[in-house]
Structure 1
Amino acid sequence: MSKEFDEVKNDVGEGKEPTTTVRELLRWFGARRRRTGIVKKIQLELDGAGIVTSPDFTKVWIDAEIAFKKAPEPVAIVPPPQDPQGAADTTYSPKDANFLISMLKAANCGVVAVKPQDTIEKAITLMLAHDFSQLAVMPNDRTISGAISWKTIGKRLSQENNLVEVKDAMEAAVALEDTEGLFKATKLIIDHEFVFVRSSLDKKVTGIVTATDLSEQFQFLSEPFLLIGQIENQIRNLINGKYAIEVLQSVCSDADPERKERIQSVADLTFGEYLWIIQNPEHWEKLELRVDRVVFCAEMDKVREIRNDVMHFDPDGIDEEQYDQLRRFSRLMDELEALSQ
């Protein structure tokens, strides 16, 4: 257990509410991302210490600040009512969304705003200075009157309207709670080009998410999948036609005869099974590669581990070091393929 978490437990025990960021909390447990295993480990430690985080560390941006608080006393559970036949009432309760709009960086970076009575010149200057396409129109930090953008200004000018104050070129804006599911919010963002995000706790506006932010986030999440897919194709091409079906089937346990029977080509194997075949010195010789088997397999095993992380489609994504590993290994495969031709 880290000394930082021990200090948190002591502080909470004394009635304090210490704070940190999600990223720091992960670091205390030797992690950089909210993978399933590490989240479970942290949650068990929190539960064991009678502590909760506010907001929930699994539902906010990785650099968001969280507070550690004493967990509320458990509430006695009343048995559900029985119907005349004695069957319990099993009303469906939906699970929380796994991907919330609050997990996006843009939803946590605040907004640049103008008031309805500010001049059009002020709004234009702020948009130019910050390279923004739109601004929030807010009389205070909790109330969104609307938005002003280059588009709304252009529309008003095209009708030869006299623009003096921001309210003369203002349009309605969409605001979502930070607990809104990311995929549900996506349609609204596409339809309206941007949405504002407000805290479900204090109702303050915490950020603006644009269509550009959304596309960057999905690229951030999808690029590792594309790299992994490319590497898997490269591995298949490397070993395709080099081994008898019996060798391919040997990676499957005898306890699963049905799957073993289904393995008829390299396309039927998992990434880990590719590695298992290549690690065998006898099988390695058939590839006729002029590179070191141990080093190659070690690099491939790193890719396997990253692949396991990527499959969770975690909003935290993978870090730059892992990206570099995928890119390096893909380049290595390209070079080996070129040399073999």
Structure 2
Amino acid sequence: MSKEFEEVKSDVAEGKEPSTTVRELLRWFGARRRRTGVVKRIRNELDDAGIVTTPDFTKVWIDAEISFSKIPEAAAPAAVPAEDQGQEEPQFSPQDASFLISMLKAANCGVIAVNPQDTVEKAITLMLAHDFSQLAVMSNEHTLKGAISWKTIGKRLSHNNELTEVKDAIEPAVAIEDTEPLFKATRLIIDHEFVFVRSSADKKVTGIVTATDLSEQFQFLSEPFLLIGQIENQIRVLLHGKFEVEALKEICNDADEARKDSIQSVADLTFGEYLRLIQKPENWEKLGLSIDRSVFCAEMDQVREIRNDVMHFDPDGIDEGQYDQLRRFSRLMDELDALAQ
């Protein structure tokens, strides 16, 4: 257990409410992302210490600040009946898979705002200075009056309307709470080009998510899938026609006879089975590669671990080092394919 978490437990026991970021909390547990096993471990430690995070560390942006406090007595876990003790607890809830709008950086970066009585020139200057297409129109940090944008300014001018104050070019704005699932919010963002995000705790406007932010997020989420799909195809090409069906079945789980019987080609294997196949020296020889087997398999095993993160839809995605690993291994596969021709 990290000394930082020990200090948190000590502070909470004294009635204090220390704080940190989600990223820092993960670091205390030797992790960088909120993978299922990591989340379970942290939750267990928090429960054992009688501590809760506010907000829930799984439901916010990875760099959001969270505080630690004692679990309210009314929310403390009930005693487990004797007849139920020893039974395994549920490991997954559908809510665990929710990717919330609050997990996006843009939803947490605040907003540049003008009030309705500000001049249009001020709004234009702010949009130019920050390279924004729109601004929030607010009377205070809780009261969202609407938005002003290049589009609304252009529309008013095209109708020969005089523009003096921001209120002359205001348009209604859509605001959603930070607990809204991202995929439900997607349609609103597409339809309106942007939405403002409110904190469900205090109703403050915490950020604005635009269609551009959305497209960047989906690229961030989809690129690893595309890279992994490309690598899997490259591996199938490398292995195709090199092995008898019996050799492929041999590396499958002996306990799953039905699946072993269904294996007919390399395409029927899992990524882990590709790795087990070529880890055997006698199988590696059949590939005819003049490279080191142990190094190649170690690189491929790293890809396998990244693939597991991606396929389990880790809300924090993968880091740049993992991207580099996928790109590097894909380039290696391309080079091996070129040498074989």
Q: Which interval holds the TM-score relative to the shorter structure?
A: over 0.9
Match of 1:339 in 2: 339
Match of 2:193 in 1: 193
Match of 2:218 in 1: 218
Q: CA deviation at 1:252?
A: 1.6
Q: Matched residue of 1:142: which SS?
A: coil
Q: Matched residue of 1:318: which SS?
A: coil
1:35 aligns with 2:35: yes
Does the 8 A contact of 1:106 with 1:213 survive in 2? Answer: yes
Match of 2:84 in 1: none
Q: Distance in 2 between matches of 1:225 and 1:94?
A: 22
CA distance 1:46–1:120, change in 2 (3 Å): same
| Aligned residues: CA RMSD | 1.5
Q: Distance in 1 between matches of 2:128 and 2:175?
A: 24
1:256 aligns with 2:256: yes
Q: Distance in 2 between matches of 1:114 and 1:324?
A: 42
Superposition map of 1:318-337 within 5 A? 318-337=318-337
Match of 2:122 in 1: 122
Q: CA deviation at 1:315?
A: 2.2
Q: Matched residue of 2:52: which SS?
A: strand
CA distance 1:260–1:184, change in 2 (3 Å): same
Provide structure 2 residue ranges, at least 5 long, that are not aligned to the other structure. 79-92
Match of 1:156 in 2: 156
Match of 2:72 in 1: 72
Does the 8 A contact of 1:178 with 1:198 survive in 2? Answer: yes
Q: Matched residue of 1:161: which SS?
A: coil
Match of 2:174 in 1: 174
Q: Matched residue of 2:185: which SS?
A: helix
Match of 2:136 in 1: 136
Q: Matched residue of 1:145: which SS?
A: strand
Tell me the TM-score normalised to structure 1 length: 0.94
Q: Distance in 2 between matches of 1:135 and 1:278?
A: 56
Match of 1:228 in 2: 228
Q: CA deviation at 1:261?
A: 1.1
Superposition map of 1:46-125 within 5 A? 46-74=46-74, 95=95, 98-125=98-125
Does the 8 A contact of 1:279 with 1:293 survive in 2? Answer: yes
CA distance 1:132–1:242, change in 2 (3 Å): same
Match of 2:272 in 1: 272
Letter in 2 for 1:135: L
Count of aligned pairs: 327
CA distance 1:94–1:45, change in 2 (3 Å): closer
Does the 8 A contact of 1:54 with 1:66 survive in 2? Answer: yes
Does the 8 A contact of 1:22 with 1:57 survive in 2? Answer: yes
Q: CA deviation at 1:74?
A: 3.7
Letter in 2 for 1:291: I
Match of 1:14 in 2: 14
Provide structure 1 residue ranges, at least 5 long, that are not aligned to the other structure. 79-92
CA distance 1:97–1:256, change in 2 (3 Å): closer
- Aligned-pair identity in percent equals 80
Q: Distance in 1 between matches of 2:217 and 2:256?
A: 40
Q: Matched residue of 1:151: which SS?
A: helix
Tell me the TM-score normalised to structure 2 length: 0.94
Does the 8 A contact of 1:97 with 1:181 survive in 2? Answer: no
CA distance 1:69–1:101, change in 2 (3 Å): same
CA distance 1:3–1:318, change in 2 (3 Å): same
Q: CA deviation at 1:253?
A: 2.6
Letter in 2 for 1:277: L
Match of 1:247 in 2: 247
Q: Matched residue of 1:203: which SS?
A: coil
CA distance 1:189–1:75, change in 2 (3 Å): closer
Q: Distance in 1 between matches of 2:329 and 2:95?
A: 38
1:288 aligns with 2:288: yes
Q: Distance in 2 between matches of 1:120 and 1:315?
A: 39
